[in-house]
Every structure is written in structure tokens, then in C-alpha cells.
Amino acid sequence: MGPRQTAQSLIAGILFAALAIASAIAGQPDMTPINAMDRAGFVQKFGGIFENSPWVAEQAWDKKPFASLDALHAAMVSVAKQAPAPLQLVLLQSHPDLAGKEAQAGSMTASSVAEQASAGLNALSAAEMTQMSELNAAYRKKFGFPFIIAVRMHSKEGIFFEFNRRLHNDTQTEFANDMQNVYVITRLRLNKLLDAS
């Protein structure tokens, strides 16, 4: 295993450890009402977990019944992992840039607004905004999709550090990094949604 694969394995391990902690904190909701939902109701409730991609929830519904929150999330992740690469790319491209034009226009999803605010990305200085804009543009130009990171797991400084570090990777590595971060983000969203309901 080379240094790049070792680093990727370490990052994946850290992300999944964070998911386990988030799961333990969230506890287990009663799955009975979730398993009783028809497809339309399920998609209405869970269609926003994967950013602007209700097709994930729609296909995950077929995997009912879910024994636990872990099983529900695993079913959704399985749908995303088994999707053809072009559809995975659309999924990544559905995410907004960090503190980007969607944030400035007020057109991000409520989940993205709350997540970016949690790391202070809604209150960047002018210099930080310029730096973030340049990083977003450089990342999109190099890879063809936005930089995705589970911002709730990072400080503002950590996000800038990861942005600069990951810009040196190749496209395949960053596609995988983005997808792994999507899985962490969606688990946190699922916890938050079910905790609030």
C-alpha cells in the first residue's frame, strides 16, 4: 500500500469513526413509522438527505424494512455507491461551493446553510472570501466538481487546510474523498432530521 492509499485509508477510518460517534450520540429512533411510509412519504421526508438528489431516497425505499438508523443510512449509501459514475458526478455537482455564489444568493438548501454557518463560513473576512473563491475555482477547474467536506467536523482553519492539501491530489482520489465526505454529511443530516422529529 503506497503513501496515497495509506492516507486515504486513514482519512476514511477517521470519517467512519466520526460517523460511529455521531450514531451513538443520536441514539436509535423507532423505525416502525419509517418502515410504514409509502414511497412518496419516504421521499418527502428523506429526499433532502443527499443534496438535491431525492433519487437516492427513492431507490433506498425499496430496501425496507430498516432495522436501525444505521441500516437506513447504509441503504442510502449503497444506492449512491452503486450508481453509475456519471450519476455520482451529478450527485457531487449538486453540492454548492463553500461560501460560494449559492450562499451569497441565498439559494442553498437549509441543510447546507446550517452546515456552512456551523464552521463560520457565513462570516468570512473579505480576504478569506477572496481566498475561498480562488480555492473553489481552482478545485472545480482541476477536478470538474466542487470541493466537499463535512464542515461540521472541521474548524474554518481546518477547512482551508484541507482545501489546500486536497488540491494536490489526482481526480480519482478527490472523487473518492468527495464521496466519503458525502456519506459523513448525510449521516449527520439523518441524525439531525430524526432527532428533530
Cβ contacts of 94 within 8 Å, gap of 6 or more: 50, 51, 52, 53
Which residue type, as a one-letter code, is found at position 116?
A: Q
Q: Find where cell 461540521 sits.
A: 152
Q: How far apart are CA 197 and CA 184, in angstroms?
A: 20
With beta carbons less than 8 A apart as the criterion, state whether 147 and 163 touch.
Answer: yes
C-alpha closest to that of 124 among 151, 95, 142: 151
With beta carbons less than 8 A apart as the criterion, state whether 139 and 147 touch.
Answer: yes
With beta carbons less than 8 A apart as the criterion, state whether 145 and 114 touch.
Answer: no
28 CB neighbour count, 10 Å cutoff: 12
CA 95 to chain centroid, in Å, comes to: 8
**Catalytic: which of 73, 95, 154, 168?**
95
Assigned C-alpha cell, 148: 466537499
Q: How far apart are CA 109 and CA 53, in angstroms?
A: 12
The yes-or-no answer on residue 154 being catalytic is no
Catalytic annotation, residues: 95
